[in-house]
Amino acid sequence: MEPRNAIVTGASHGIGPYIARALAARQMNMLLVARSGAELARLAAELGGAVKVSAAAIDLGGPQAARQVADAAAAELGSVDVLVNNAATEPQTRFHVLTPPEIEHVLQVDLISPLLLARLLLPGMLERGYGRIVNVSSLAGHTSFPHTEAYAAAKDGLTAFSRVLHSDYRRTGVSATSLILGPVKDAGVSARTLAETGLTASTAFSVSPHKVAAATVRAIDKPKPEMVVSVGPARVLKALMDYFPRLGPRLNRLSGADKLMTAVADHREAARTTPARLTTPSPYNPVAPSARRPWPASGEPPQPAESRSARGSGGLGVPGRARAGNDGTYRPA
Burial class for 21, CB neighbours closer than 10 Å (0-12, 13-18, 19+): middle
Which residue among 151, 169, 243, 284 is the active-site one?
Answer: 151
Question: Catalytic annotation on 130?
Answer: no
Question: Rounded to whole angstroms, how far apart are CA atoms 140 and 156?
Answer: 9
Question: Rounded to whole angstroms, how far apart are CA atoms 331 and 246?
Answer: 50
- Cα-Cα end-to-end distance for the chain: 32
* Residue 235 phi, psi (nearest 5): -65, -35
Question: Rounded to whole angstroms, how far apart are CA atoms 125 and 226?
Answer: 20
Question: Rounded to whole angstroms, how far apart are CA atoms 170 and 260?
Answer: 42
Q: What's 54's DSSP letter?
A: E
Query: Which residue, among 12, 53, 6, 33, has the nearest Cα to 319 in the 3D structure?
Result: 53
Query: Which residue, among 249, 282, 284, has the nearest Cα to 270 in the 3D structure?
Result: 284
**3-state DSSP assignment of residue 187:** coil
DSSP codes joined into one string, 189-236: HHHHHHHHH------TTPBPHHHHHHHHHHHHHS--SEEEESSSSHHH
Give the active site residues. 151
